[in-house]
Chain A
Amino acid sequence: MNIASKMIVVLSLMGLLSGGALAGVYKATFEKIKQNQLEELKRAIFIVLTKAKDYKKIEKDGIVVYEGLDENKMPAGLAFKAKGMGFQGEIGMMVGLDSELKKIKGLFVLDQLETPGLGAKITTEDFRGQFKELSVEPKIVYVKNVKPSKPNEIQAITAATISSKAVVNILNRDIKKVEMALKKGD
């Protein structure tokens, strides 16, 4: 066998073996990986909708929301993923709203790449707790260095205004999007 054909044979064989091995590993881990993702989703939903014991996925107009269901299978709020650009990277959150989309029930940060110790404080209970029972009308507003005085105000993290602002903007934008999609055709 001359060099050229040997090269071709070896490379093709390797390609096939590699592809086969990878396809096998993919198949073997597919279920587990999907399960992991579902677990994470479920955990996030139950964190933001404290009364929910189960949930139902609703898709409408390209928006995905999860309706929480309490132990009597009655609606216990709506949760959805909100994401957008933060200070250093993308921020992904799970937001829980009441069924009328008037108040936030809970907030959980799924992914963030903000500055550790500063912007990353958006994951702390101190910051997120402000969003519980927060009114979203007309929109969420952040204030600096003073205590919030209105039902739709939260206080930005000191020295992390940009991250706090990003969270507020993302929430306002995505809540409007969900509102539009759900109210349409109602």
Chain B
Amino acid sequence: MLINLFLLFISSAIVNNFVLAYFLGICPFLGVSKKVDSAFSLGIASTFVMTLTAIISWAINHFILIKYNLPFLQNVSFIIVIASLVQLVEMFIKKTSPPLYRALGIFLPLITTNCAILGLALFAALRDYGFIETIVYGFGAGVGFTLALVIMAGIREQLELADVPKPLEGAGITLIIAGILALAFMGFAGLISV
């Protein structure tokens, strides 16, 4: 059982990395990955929200949606959960650690539109994961997201010193690098049969 969970974690974090294999979380990936510090902070905050979302969305799915046969409310309820969670996390951080709040700044509300969070909630529901499995899946997804973000930030920090063709500056070169990263991560495919 534990082995299975560990494999699930590796699968969602690396083999089926949410950003590089499933195209989720691209907006923050392109927008916030310029510096390693901010990338890391956003990644941690997102991982936190993802894990919480995994728990709550599983609960809503099993105790309300499935029980009362309301599958059509899945989208609406999940996104409301996410939006509320982000709001709560924002208020919590503001109260307990104002410096952290200032450091994260605008990134916090942006977590709401991170496709990765809604994506993971929907995928977990689609694949009928159990409670523990959903938590591990959510946590793994967050770690994978943070990983992709930090790698990209590290590369982009180095890129500042390089001679990028002008039209490719910004989004262009970032996407091309993302493509190469995706190619690299393809090497992990087939590592785990989960």
B-binding residues in A (CB < 8 A): 18-19, 22-23, 25-26, 85, 87-88, 162, 166
Contacts and interface: CB of A to CB of B under 8 A. Distances in A.
Given A19-B73, A22-B76, 6 more contacts: A19-B76, A22-B72, A22-B73, A85-B193, A87-B189, A166-B193
10 contacts: A18-B76, A19-B76, A22-B73, A22-B76, A25-B72, A85-B194, A87-B189, A87-B190, A162-B190, A166-B193
Contacts of B189: 87-88
Nearest to A86: B193
Interface in B170-194: 189-190, 193-194
A162 B189 CA distance: 10
Contacts of B73: 19, 22
Nearest to A24: B72
A159 B14 CA distance: 23
Q: In the A-B complex, list the 7 residue pairs whose CB atoms are closest, starting with the nearest.
A: A26-B72, A22-B72, A85-B193, A87-B190, A162-B190, A18-B76, A88-B189
B12 to A, nearest CB: 13
A87 B189 CA distance: 7
A88 B17 CA distance: 12
A81 to B, nearest CB: 15
Nearest to A85: B193
B74 to A, nearest CB: 10
Contacts of B70: 23
Interface of B: 70-73, 76, 189-190, 193-194
A22 B72 CA distance: 6
Nearest to A29: B72
A18 B193 CA distance: 40
Instruction: Please indicate which of the listed interface residues B71, B76, B193 has the most CB atoms of chain A within 10 Å of its own CB.
Output: B193
A9 B176 CA distance: 48
Nearest to B192: A85
Contacts of A22: 72-73, 76
A146 B139 CA distance: 45
Contacts of A88: 189-190
Contacts of B76: 18-19, 22
Nearest to B76: A18
A89 to B, nearest CB: 8
Nearest to A25: B72
A88 B11 CA distance: 11
A66 B193 CA distance: 28
A148 B141 CA distance: 42
Contacts of A18: 76
A91 B189 CA distance: 15
A162 B72 CA distance: 37
Nearest to A18: B76
Nearest to B15: A88
A162 B73 CA distance: 38
B169 to A, nearest CB: 32
